[in-house]
Amino acid sequence: MSLPRAIVGAIKYPALSVFDFRPTKYHDAADKAWFGNYLLAFVADNCPEHRFTDRFYRRLSNCFGHIAHYSKAGFLGEYFTSAEDKHRFLKDTMRHPCYGDPNWTFSDVERAVIVRLQRADVLPIYARLSGQETEQQERAHLAQLAVKYGYGPTAAPGILTPQTQAAARNAARTITGDLFAA
């Protein structure tokens, strides 16, 4: 799934500039601009695993309060295996209060990225992607269960036939003693 083109543009453009950031003792403004632009492009491209490079991971794991994620595989597993994970990553990232002096930290980059993501309104989009992915998984699981328990693949996904509805009511009566059956 990809993001709408207008949102991708709002996230990525205009590119963050070296003039937007202060150098630190160990990183120049170009390093900061690279990281900010790379992170924004990563989010705009729906966080693909192949773009989660070692260089990017090392910087990201030290920003936005993500310091507890001490391995690249652990970070990927925590935040980038599903749309729900990506949504949670963005919520966690955007809620970070950006501590520190920009002369010593990447807090100025964190602020710039958060502002850009807020302006692009990415959280509702990723929430929708998460919901769509969950629905697809649940529908696939429902189809597997229908086949397994003899309801067959004849009904279109998401549409219960009168026979299936009756069978579900009968099963509910049996299980609950008619307490919750309609």
Backbone angles phi, psi at 68, to 5 degrees: -70, -15
Q: For the segment 10-22, what is each residue's pLDDT rounded down to a tens digit?
A: 999 999 999 999 9
> In the structure encoding, which two tokens stand for residue 84, read together?
């729900």
Question: pLDDT by residue (tens digit) across 132-177?
Answer: 888 888 888 888 888 777 776 555 555 566 666 666 666 655 554 5
Can you give the residue ranges of every domain in the chain?
5-127, 150-182
What whole-number distance in Å separates Cα of residue 81 and Cα of residue 79?
6
How is residue 62 annotated by DSSP? T
Q: Is there a contact between 152 and 146 (Cβ–Cβ < 8 Å)?
A: yes
